[in-house]
Chains A and B, each alone.
Chain A
């Protein structure tokens, strides 16, 4: 059984999608249990895989017994075992929270929603687990197409934002495919490890350089790396809340993983760092991403939209940390994939609760919220402290590793950008706390209900429990950072960086 884990990981949610869409037609009440069953299956499998990898080293899987360069080949090492666990945990927690908002916002579309949900998870898990460059493209498109449809479920201008995302996402995916095609021209292979084995004598070839640049631009477009981020804020803001708390934490992080996988496993660090020498330039791009993301977040009056710009800045953290090219930077970047997925999930779930009760997440609906929604706001505070980087929340530790990496590489620009962005986050979140805690409900719209501001009107328990699991997770991951780095991430650091 356990030797089939890498395949089961993708097949379980895929099979569940058939049952869910059938149930959507005949017995809509069954949709949610089927979704829970499918994703719980892949959650257990991914945790089992993480255990296997921690105890016995990398696991590989050949589909139908075909040997690597010919057949599709899945490979799980310490790096993607961790990312798989993050993806399945975040997807599962968010699913539990999604139920109440689905019942309130679009009950008649529950079947399609859950079907798209599991297909999105199938795509993400597959992208992380695969060891084949073309297979990755197909799974990338599965995740992307379901993502477009999920975002278009939103109200107002959501379809237009989704269309813009489709255009940019398709350009990104086409560029990725083109890069893979260039690699195929020179190596004749699509298996990642096989390409890496064949590439070294070809480093001088301009085709390989072109492949690298095109592929990176494609991946950066998909992750919303600063100058290519234009689609991200609108798409994530106008999506329904259970969708933004699914897509925002996961899609960007998985694309960061794809970038790391492509550079480390396919092109190898020798090529990207020593031969092309691009690291300094990319870290400067990341500096711009962090600074601009933070500044744009400052100018927003809607909490959800502000969070999307924080996502843009956080992508800069991870890209910059990786391209610093040393062990501390790499550890920081990978740890930040884990932490940022949880932090973003926590904040988007909290905002989802606010939207559920108040109808929107604009600054003017915040006054008095600490009294009427104490549990949601307390969890929002934990998430915010983690984004700012206050110990013992996990955000502190990944930022600490990133700072160490910047010092070791002597890259003071990146160091300054990290500190600047932390300060901006302080301003951003304390503005929310101030409005939510001190500002009384406005006399004009609060007076109709008398002493409305003292009545607790919380989100339903089904949304609060997942939110609090995430918030406690932020602190637990922070406390166990040493364990995670020592037992998982340290083994993922490429030998060249040590």
Chain B
């Protein structure tokens, strides 16, 4: 019991991302409304983004900007004092990708609505089966 609690508390960032991811997956699979599914999809993507952001963080570290680098760059740099910027930079790209996906998905949802006059999936499928 104590082990499990420690596992949860020490690695809480992973638990948060897994929970968010499962919420997203649940919405995609179980929801009937297409916009709710799209929201679930975005939650799923955000969960992965949060995961990446959290792995770059270090306790007590600061942003990786080295002051006066050009003239006094000869002093040693202690990596432990700076957070890892790479996962954060990667996530800038991933955020752009997720915004683009969200945009395309919403546009296609509008097209679906124009064609079937509803966003409830079961009603659309009913229309397709009995035209």
Contacts and interface: CB of A to CB of B under 8 A. Distances in A.
Report if A and B associate in a common complex.
yes
Interface of A: 134, 137-138, 141, 145, 148-149, 152, 156-157, 159-160, 162-163, 166-167, 170-171, 174, 177-178, 181, 184-185, 190
Interface in B49-98: 51-52, 55, 87, 90, 93-94, 97
A145 B96 CA distance: 12
A187 to B, nearest CB: 12
Contact of B52 (A156, A166, A181): A181
A451 to B, nearest CB: 33
Interface string B93-116: 110010011001100110110011
Contacts of A171: 25, 28, 41, 44
Given A167-B28, A167-B37, A162 B108 contact: yes
A177 B48 contact: yes
13 contacts: A134-B93, A145-B100, A145-B104, A148-B105, A148-B108, A159-B108, A166-B105, A167-B41, A170-B45, A171-B25, A174-B45, A181-B87, A184-B87
Given A149-B108, A163-B108, 10 more contacts: A159-B111, A159-B112, A159-B115, A160-B116, A166-B41, A166-B108, A171-B25, A174-B45, A177-B52, A184-B55
A69 to B, nearest CB: 11
Identify the interface centre among A148, A152, A157, A160: most chain B CB within 10 Å of its CB.
Answer: A160
Contacts of B87: 181, 184
B128 A157 contact: yes
Contact of B104 (A137, A148, A177): A148
Contact of A185 (B44, B55, B93): B55
Size class of the B contact interface (CB-based, 8 Å):
20 to 34
A178 B109 CA distance: 27
A181 B51 contact: yes
Contacts of A166: 41, 101, 104-105, 108
Contact of B112 (A137, A160, A190): A160
Contacts of A152: 108, 111
B124 A160 contact: yes
Nearest to A153: B111
Contacts of B101: 141, 145, 166, 170
B51 A178 contact: yes
Contacts of A159: 108-109, 111-112, 115
In the complex, the 6 A-B pairs of residues with the closest C-beta atoms, listed nearest first: A159-B112, A159-B111, A141-B97, A152-B108, A166-B105, A159-B108
Contacts of B51: 178, 181
B28 to A, nearest CB: 5
Contacts of B28: 167, 171
A184 B105 CA distance: 29
| Main SS at interface, chain A | helix
| Main SS at interface, chain B | helix
Nearest to A160: B112
B131 to A, nearest CB: 10
A174 B124 contact: no
A137 B101 CA distance: 13
A163 B106 CA distance: 9
Contacts of B116: 160
Interface string B28-49: 1000001001100100110110
Contacts of B109: 159, 163
Nearest to A176: B48
Interface string B5-41: 0000000000000000000010010000010011001
Nearest to A135: B93
A134 B116 CA distance: 38
A181 B105 CA distance: 25
A170 B48 contact: no
Contacts of A162: 108
Contacts of A163: 34, 37-38, 105, 108-109, 112
Identify the interface centre among B94, B108, B111, B121: most chain A CB within 10 Å of its CB.
Answer: B108
Contacts of A156: 115
B90 to A, nearest CB: 6
Contacts of A157: 115, 124, 128
Contacts of A184: 55, 87
Contacts of B112: 159-160, 163
A66 to B, nearest CB: 14
Contacts of A170: 41, 44-45, 101
B104 A138 contact: no
Contacts of B34: 163
A138 B45 CA distance: 14
A102 to B, nearest CB: 19
A449 to B, nearest CB: 27
A145 B124 CA distance: 23
Contacts of B55: 181, 184-185
A181 B48 contact: yes
A269 B15 CA distance: 32
A181 B34 CA distance: 29
B111 A138 contact: no
A266 B51 CA distance: 22
B92 to A, nearest CB: 11
